[in-house]
Amino acid sequence: MYKSNVFDENMVHYVRRGSIQIGEFAECVEKSLLDLTMEICGYNQSRAAMALGLSRGCFRTKLKQHFGDKYFRVGKNG
């Protein structure tokens, strides 16, 4: 179904070491939440943005920040 572990491996590693800062923790949680929401919403960016209460533009900016082109179609020339 959906990923059983919402947190990425980097965050788990840092938490176990006791060396993660609150900003890093928030970034890892945000990234995991975006990824999981995309999966739940069938990789539809508009639906995922709405589910999180974000504008589509804000959601796309966050996707780009965390995942690069993973959730974006890349044309033949780009």
Domains of the chain, residue spans: 9-67
What b/e string do you get for 19-33 counting C-beta neighbours within 10 Å, with b at 16 or more? ebeeeeeebbeebbb
pLDDT in tens, 5-63: 555 666 677 677 777 777 878 888 899 999 999 999 999 999 999 999 999 999 999 99
Give the chain's largest Cα–Cα span: 45
Distance CA 26, CA 31 (A): 9
Instruction: Identify residue 60 by its one-letter amino acid code.
Output: R
Instruction: Classify domain 9-67 at the CATH superfamily level.
Output: Homeodomain-like (1.10.10.60)
Q: State the pLDDT at residue 4.
A: 46
Q: Are 34 and 66 spatial neighbours (Cβ–Cβ below 8 Å)?
A: yes
pLDDT value of residue 23: 81
